[in-house]
Amino acid sequence: MERATEAWAIIHSLVVARRHRIPEVAAELGITPGDVFALLSLLAEEPKPMRDLAEAWRCDASNVTWQVDRLEERGFVERRSVEADRRVKQVALTPSGLEAQARVLAFMHVPPDELLNLGPELLDQLIGVLSRIDPGRQPDCRPT
């Protein structure tokens, strides 16, 4: 197996084994898994037009309307009209949405025991390599 594939297979399996945290954090915060996805994808980003969100989430535009409606009802986001093109509406996180997002991230970033068990030296080595990763473009997809 090629080296990158080998590394990726291990990384992938780690995350696969933690997928169950999505419904858990959703239940904890009293929101739906879909809301969790959406909050994560708006992370640390500027307000985005609904059209861009549809592309990022790889879903139909009508679904963005529906999802943003739900987040807006919860007070997590707000729609902002754009003066340059009045057809466009941008979706921006509210302070409450930022807080909810932080809580989601706090959940998601709790590392699995497999990593904790590596011990400090190996973890330092791991971070040494991982920190060399060039994130490239921001993730343009719906997170898990």
Tell me which residues touch a copy of itself (CB under 8 A). Answer: 2-20, 23, 40, 58, 108-118, 120, 122-136, 139-144
88 binds, among DNA, a copy of itself, none (CB under 5 to 8 A by kind): DNA
- Asked if 13 interacts with DNA (CB under 7 A), we say no
Should residue 8 be labelled a site residue for DNA when binding is judged by CB under 7 A?
Answer: no
Rounded Cα distance between 31 and 71, Å, is: 9
Residue for token pair 């861009």: 52
65 vs 144 by CB, closer to a copy of itself: 144
106-114 contacts, C-beta under 8 A, 24 or more apart: 107/21, 107/24, 107/25, 107/28, 108/21, 108/25, 108/40, 110/21, 112/14, 112/17, 112/18, 114/14, 114/17
Closest approach of DNA to the CB of residue 101, in Å = 18
Chain positions 36 to 75 lying near DNA, rule: CB under 7 A, are 49-52, 54, 58-69
φ/ψ of residue 89, rounded to 5? -125, 130
**Least gap, CB of 71 to DNA (angstroms):** 12
Check binding of 140 to DNA (CB under 7 A).
Answer: no
Q: Which residues bind DNA (CB under 7 A)?
A: 32-34, 49-52, 54, 58-69, 79, 85-90
